[in-house]
Amino acid sequence: MINILSYGCIVIGIVFWFWGTSYLLGKRSLLFKLHTLSVSDTLGSISIVFGLLLKIPREWPLLILGIICLAMWNTMLGYVLAYCSSTGGEDE
């Protein structure tokens, strides 16, 4: 049961990765790509790491630290990239 749940989380995370990264190849604006990419990378990676946590619960401090760092840093990087790119030039 736990095994199925952990594989389910990992597969959902990989589907998120593919969904968000596929927009990177299009011709949309930078902020649109940034939004989809940061959502998919953060949520997909958290889902994958949570699946790993269900698989090996004895290493929970390390994996929880990884989840917290993902949630904090990826959102902050998204904000900083959006701020720098939208005021740095004419590329909206």
Partner 1 sequence: MNLVVIAMIVALLIPVYEAWKNDHVWQKMLAFASISSKAAVMILVVSVLRDDWMIGIVGVIILSVGNAALMLLANVLKRMSDL
Select from 5, 57, 60, 84 the one that contacts partner 1 (CB under 8 A): 84
CA 13 → CA 20, 33, 40, 91, distances in Å?
11, 18, 8, 30
Q: Which is nearer to partner 1, 1 or 89 (CB)?
A: 89
Q: Determine the Cα–Cα distance for residues 43 and 12; give it in Å rounded to an integer.
A: 10
Please measure the distance between the N-terminal and C-terminal CA atoms of the chain and give it in whole angstroms: 47
What does the DSSP 8-state code read for residue 57? G
Among 5, 30, 57, 60, binds partner 1 (CB under 8 A): 30
* Contacting residues toward partner 1, per CB under 8 A: 10-11, 14, 17-18, 21-22, 24-25, 30, 33-34, 37, 41, 45, 48-49, 52, 55-56, 59, 62-63, 65-66, 69-70, 73-74, 76-77, 80-81, 84-85, 87-89, 91
